[in-house]
Amino acid sequence: MRIGNITSSFSLGCTVDAEEKEIMRRLLAYGIQPTGNKSIDMAKLRQVEEQKAKTESVASNKFYTVSSSEMEKMIEKRKGATILGDYNKMMINFNQKA
């Protein structure tokens, strides 16, 4: 039982299984106080995790700014890859004719 900042607990001889302990631990990690009812706590946890998954899957509107020197490096890498690809094509053609 929780009243304000005072927390008290009592036992009625009930045991908490490992799954319920895990549910309680995860709820507390989200800042949610477990009720002690496994089905209610499981539903709360499922709801919180679904909401978290939705917010994480939303695409952000942030753009990455590339400086001119970074752009030049990317262009040079692309040119190098193109040259290497052309060379490989020539070698394949040369080996097929030889």
Residue 3 banded pLDDT, cuts 50, 70, 90: low
Domain locations in the chain as residue ranges:
14-57, 66-98
Q: What is the pLDDT of residues 51-80, one digit of tens each?
A: 888 777 655 556 667 777 887 888 888 887
Q: What is the pLDDT of residues 10-53, one digit of tens each?
A: 555 567 789 999 999 999 999 999 998 999 999 999 999 988 88
Residue 34 in contact with residue 24, Cβ under 8 Å? yes
